[in-house]
């Protein structure tokens, strides 16, 4: 079945350092979505990318969709303590259906 892997699984950074998480799908995706889950919270939608090679920015966050539409990345510039949480990518399951396949997630911890 379809698999969506993310690396790294965990990342500890000092406040002010940059952070990147990578998402890789075993199948081509029609779109990729990113979610953030704060500790003790629930996943919250961040952004959706649709076009091959698309790049979108939200303040310090930069999202990129690969040319082959099988991978994506999220880059945070100058991390802050408010960035703490787990970041998930998600893509529509291959073969259609009303569901997303979520990635394994990257847990980010930011230390002062």
Q: Which residues bind other proteins (CB under 8 A)?
A: 30-31, 33, 41-45, 48, 88, 90, 92, 96-105
Distance between CA 20 and CA 78 in Å, rounded? 11
Q: How far is the CB of 72 from other proteins (least distance, A)?
A: 15
Tokens of 99: 């569901």
Q: How far is the CB of 12 from other proteins (least distance, A)?
A: 16
By beta-carbon proximity to other proteins, the closer residue of 63 and 88 is 88
By beta-carbon proximity to other proteins, the closer residue of 59 and 99 is 99
By beta-carbon proximity to other proteins, the closer residue of 40 and 112 is 40
List strand residue ranges (DSSP E) for the chain, in order.
4-7, 10-14, 19-25, 32-37, 44-49, 55-58, 61-65, 71-76, 85-92, 100-102, 106-111
By beta-carbon proximity to other proteins, the closer residue of 77 and 104 is 104
Q: How far is the CB of 18 from other proteins (least distance, A)?
A: 25
- Strands 106-111 and 10-14, how do they pair? parallel
């Amino acid at each position: 079945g379809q698999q969506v892997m993310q690396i790294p699984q965990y990342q500890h950074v000092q406040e002010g350092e940059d952070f990147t998480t990578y998402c890789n799908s075993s199948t081509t995706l029609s779109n990729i979505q990113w979610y953030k889950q704060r500790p003790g919270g629930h996943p919250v939608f961040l952004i959706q990318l649709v076009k091959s090679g698309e790049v979108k920015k939200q303040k310090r966050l930069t999202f990129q969709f690969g040319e082959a539409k099988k991978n994506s990345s999220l880059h945070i510039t100058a991390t802050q303590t408010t960035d703490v949480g787990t970041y998930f990518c998600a893509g529509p399951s291959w073969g259609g259906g009303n569901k997303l396949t979520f990635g394994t997630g990257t847990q980010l911890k930011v230390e002062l």
